[in-house]
Structure formats: structure tokens, C-alpha cells
A = this chain, B = another copy of it.
């Protein structure tokens, strides 16, 4: 596999940094190619703006997604965006690795989505979900939380983890065509004993060694929806974010 790990944690002594080392060693040890976008180390700029384009189709009114499409066709992306798009299209397995902050990714990674998952490459007219621009690739979230496992149970304080991660797993990864593998989650890493953290790392390595054979999570295909963009009457809602009213 060609593996791209997009990584967002500023502290080299953090548990996430240890997870990153484990992932790289495990995957390279199994013969896979690994590239890492260490967003903090790169000083990655997460703020989408007009400065992302060296030329504009609509110079008087920034419509970011339309400029992305224009920039893609005319090679007008700022170099940092172009470099990340190249890595994205190179990989066949994407790992998003981050500590869960405010039920989501750190801002520096959100900006990677905003700026790198561009219209005309990752999604666009006729390109979403199973027809998304990144189809044929797999993706996985690897994260740590400050929550106890019970908090992330379906009836827990934080809520169903599949719901918490819906904007990421459905709205970002599945939307752009990835087959999404179940997330790897290390819970309450700051509140457990060192032995538990060591076990999490061993579990993560074991998971990555067998990841090639894994079945992806279920998300509805585009064909499950009618012309009104709602599930066809004969389709049973099976994903975390969809239900019959």
C-alpha cells in the first residue's frame, strides 16, 4: 500500500506522536510505503483564502469552491496546496491521525480538508460518495480522546461515536469516495496507566498489520437516494446519520 498519514499534534512527547511512530514502523515493516504530512511541523496554513490561488476566474468575488475548480484546471494552486494534492492522489490508504478536540479534528487539520480536498479532484459534479473523486482508496481515523469509553457509548455523555464522527467519516471521507475503515480510538489517554497506553499502541500496531483485509464501514451509495436526494422508500436507513422521520 501507499499510505499517507496526515498528522496534527504539536507535541513530540504526546501519545499521538507515539501512535505516529508505531504506524510508520509497522506499515514500513510490512513493506508498505509511508508518507507523512505532519501539519504542525510543516507550519501548514489552515486558513482558506484568496491567497490560495495565483490566478482567479472571479477576481471580484471569492467563491472558493469555484476557484478551486478553476485552479485545478489551470494549475493555479499555491505550492503548499499543490503538494498536498499530489500526496493525496499518490496514496491508496489515508490515515487521519489527531487528538479529538471539540468532537472533531484540530483546526490545522480542518484547514487541510478546506484547502486540499478541492472541487474537481475530491468531489464535484457527479463525484460524491461512491462516485467521489477519491474512490478506490481507503481511509481511517486514528484518534485519542480525553473521554472515558462509556462516555462514547451510544447512550453515553458524548454520544454515539459514529454520530460524533459523522461529519468526518461520512461528510468528508465517504463523501469524497473513500472506503472508510472503522476508527481506531484510544480513550482517555491522559487518565490511564502507562501500561494501558502501551497496550493501546500494541493494539494499533496489530490493527495496522491486518488492515488490508478489513471490510469498510457501511455508508449509503448515491443510488440509494432518489431525485429528491432522500433515501428511496425501499431503502432501509443503515448509517448513523440517516433515519426515517
Q: When each residue 123-159 of chain A gets 1 if its CB lies under 8 Å from chain B and 0 otherwise, what string results?
A: 0000001000000000000000010101101111111
The residue from B13, B102, B155, B225 contacting A171, defined by CB atoms under 8 A apart: B102
Does A241 contact B40, Cβ atoms closer than 8 Å?
no
A1 at the binding interface (Cβ < 8 Å): no
Q: Nearest chain B CB to A147's CB is how many angstroms away? A: 8
- Determine whether the beta carbon of B102 is less than 8 Å from that of A117: yes
Of the 9-residue stretches A46-54, A77-85, A89-97, A202-210, which lies at the interface with chain B? A46-54
Nearest-CB residue, chain B, relative to A159: B241
The answer for the CA separation of A155 and B156 in the assembled complex, in Å, is 24
CB < 8 Å neighbour of A108 from B47, B156, B243, B245 = B47
Among B10, B47, B168, contact of A50 (Cβ-Cβ < 8 Å):
B10
Q: Which residues of B contact A190 (CB under 8 A)?
A: 63
Is A120 interfacial (CB-CB < 8 Å)? Answer: no
Given A156-B229, A231-B155, A46–B107 Cβ distance below 8 Å? yes
Instruction: Pick from B114, B158, B159: contact of A101, CB below 8 A.
Output: B114
Q: Are A245 and B48 in contact (CB under 8 A)?
A: no
Taken together, the copies of this chain in the complex come to 2
Say which size band chain A's interface belongs to: 35 or more
Q: Is the CB of A148 within 8 A of B46?
A: no
Which one of A46, A225, A237, A239 has the highest number of Cβ atoms from chain B below 10 Å of its Cβ?
A: A46
* Shortest distance from the beta carbon of A141 to any chain B beta carbon, whole Å: 13
A-B contacts, 20 listed (Cβ < 8 Å): A13-B61, A40-B49, A48-B101, A103-B172, A104-B104, A106-B110, A107-B108, A108-B111, A150-B228, A150-B230, A155-B242, A156-B231, A157-B220, A157-B225, A157-B230, A159-B239, A160-B243, A163-B240, A164-B167, A164-B241
- Using a CB–CB cutoff of 8 Å, the interface residues on chain A facing chain B are 10-11, 13-14, 40, 46-50, 60-65, 101-108, 110-111, 113-114, 117, 129, 146, 148, 150-151, 153-160, 163-164, 166-168, 170-172, 190, 220, 222, 225, 228-231, 237, 239-245
